[in-house]
Amino acid sequence: MSNTTNLTYTGEIGVLGRKKTELQTSGVLVSSELQDELTREWNAPAIKNGRFVFCLESPDDGRLTTVLIINGKFAEKSPFHMVKTGPGKFEIWKDDEKYTDIVLLPRPKFYDNLTTDGVRMSDIAVIGEPDHLRSVLNQRCGYQRIGQACKFCAVESWWAGYTDKSPTHVAEVAEAAYQEGIASHVTLSTGTKLSRGKGLEDLVETAKLIQKKARVTMTLNFEPLSDFTMLESLLREGKAAGATTALCNIECFDESLREDIMPMKGKNTIEDYLRVWQTCVDIFEHNEVYTMVIAGLGESDESILKGVELAASTGVVASIVPHTPMRKAVYEDMRPPEVDRMLYLYEQALPIYEKYGLKLYGGTGGIYTSLKGM
């Protein structure tokens, strides 16, 4: 495998990788005046709630690396702030010096449209990366309602979206984004539904509706099901409807912490995840199944890296992300992990992916970077 196969992990873990990690773990301050402009004119529908994306451009090949910023309480003391330097030109400054140029994504036209029953489309789904639409169904998470929420999570306030969205809503927006030419992939996520399918059934229904309206590939993001007959049936239905990728996030590999951090979701053991991942790989194939691992919840580096290898050995890509504590989460007062720790974890993970023939963002749903103009 050539060295280019993994170069998208935070932009080669070089200058771009460090910049991305520093910005994510510090947050980026944006003045109220600039927030108003970005909300009106750019792809920043939730910037007033502290969530927005921009891209860092590689000077070598024009590759764009997407940076998701979550400005929790920790960001109040960030040294980074956004500056407008000209029409369509923006930079991030660190204190009184320029830190980096950034590329903002244009505001999609569909953001100004309404669904057939009058809901703003930008409250249903958003462009999360170039060419990539994201939506969260069942945003009123069942675990939140019974007081057993994952302590790092604030799903009900993600993107300040409409929490009662339906499969029909999402399909309408996917069609609009596809017709506008700005989405060829859709990630469908769900808060946990207190049902046998835990919300996966709604993702599959949505995928079927989207398939009738737009020629896009899709990712299904869900929690493990205990009913494996239902799991396999739903995943096969989803694949038939255009889903190409599965995302089943474990978040933490440390068994001693899992139930404390995730009182309900943590009852799913690592063995449960392995069984679900294997089912996903059997259906979607090698390098088309992902899981997210959060660094900074109290776990050890060893638990993360052993977990990355365990997932990789089954054909699953485990993507490591820093904990950027969200407002309204139980852990909102925590601090993100140190930059050097994150870079160490990335550097240790890359040879693991290579060992098992995995490309971090090589699957259909791994659209975290793109070549400029694509």
> What residue type is 244 in one-letter code?
T
CA dist 116 and 51 (Å) reads 27
| Structure tokens belonging to residue 110 | 């569909």
Residue 287: Cβ within 10 Å count: 22
Q: What is the pLDDT of residue 15?
A: 76
User: How many residues comprise the chain?
Assistant: 374
Strands (E), the chain: 51-57, 63-70, 80-86, 89-94, 97-102, 126-129, 132-137, 185-190, 217-221, 243-247, 289-295, 317-322, 369-371
Phi, psi (degrees; rounded to nearest 5) at 172:
-60, -45
Q: Name, in order, each residue with C-beta under 8 angstroms of 296's C-beta and a sequence gap of 6 or more.
A: 322, 323, 334, 335, 336, 337
Residue 243 β-bridge partners = 218
Residue 282: Cβ within 10 Å count: 13
| β pairing state of 80-86 and 89-94 | antiparallel
| 123, 363 contact by CB (below 8 A) | no
Give the helix ranges, DSSP H, for 285-338.
Answer: 301-312
CA dist 225 and 276 (Å) reads 8
Q: What is the pLDDT of residue 309?
A: 98
Q: What sign results for the dihedral spanned by CA atoms 347, 313, 368, 61?
A: positive
Closest by CA position to 97, among listed 79, 84, 76 = 79
The CATH number of the structural domain formed by 109-371 is 3.20.20.70
Boundaries of every domain in the chain = 3-102, 109-371
| 21, 56 contact by CB (below 8 A) | no
| 203, 241 contact by CB (below 8 A) | no
* H helix or E strand, kind and range, residue 186: strand 185-190
| 283, 239 contact by CB (below 8 A) | yes
> What residue type is 66 in one-letter code?
T
143-179: string of b/e by CB count within 10 Å (b at 16+)?
Answer: bbeeebbbbbbbbbbbbbbbbebbbebbbbbbbbbbe
Torsion (CA) 304, 192, 154, 338 in degrees, nearest 10: 10
> What residue type is 144 in one-letter code?
Q
Q: Name, in order, each residue with C-beta under 8 angstroms of 249's C-beta and a sequence gap of 6 or more.
A: 221, 291, 292
Phi, psi (degrees; rounded to nearest 5) at 285:
85, 170
Closest by CA position to 99, among listed 34, 12, 25, 20 = 20
Torsion (CA) 73, 75, 76, 80 in degrees, nearest 10: -170
- pTM across the whole model: 0.92
Query: Would you give per-residue pLDDT tens digits along the chain (374 residues)?
Result: 233 333 444 444 567 889 999 999 999 999 999 999 999 999 999 999 999 999 999 888 888 889 999 999 999 999 999 999 999 999 999 999 999 999 999 999 999 999 999 999 999 999 999 999 999 998 888 998 899 999 999 887 765 567 789 999 999 999 999 999 999 999 999 989 999 999 999 999 999 999 999 999 999 999 999 999 999 999 999 999 999 999 999 999 999 999 999 999 999 999 999 999 999 999 999 999 999 999 999 999 999 999 999 999 999 999 999 999 999 999 999 999 999 999 999 999 999 999 999 987 666 665 443 332 22
DSSP, collapsed to helix, strand or coil, labels residue 68 as strand
CA dist 102 and 81 (Å) reads 12
Closest by CA position to 304, among listed 292, 315, 316 = 292
Q: Name, in order, each residue with C-beta under 8 angstroms of 79's C-beta and a sequence gap of 6 or more.
A: 26, 94, 95
* H helix or E strand, kind and range, residue 86: strand 80-86
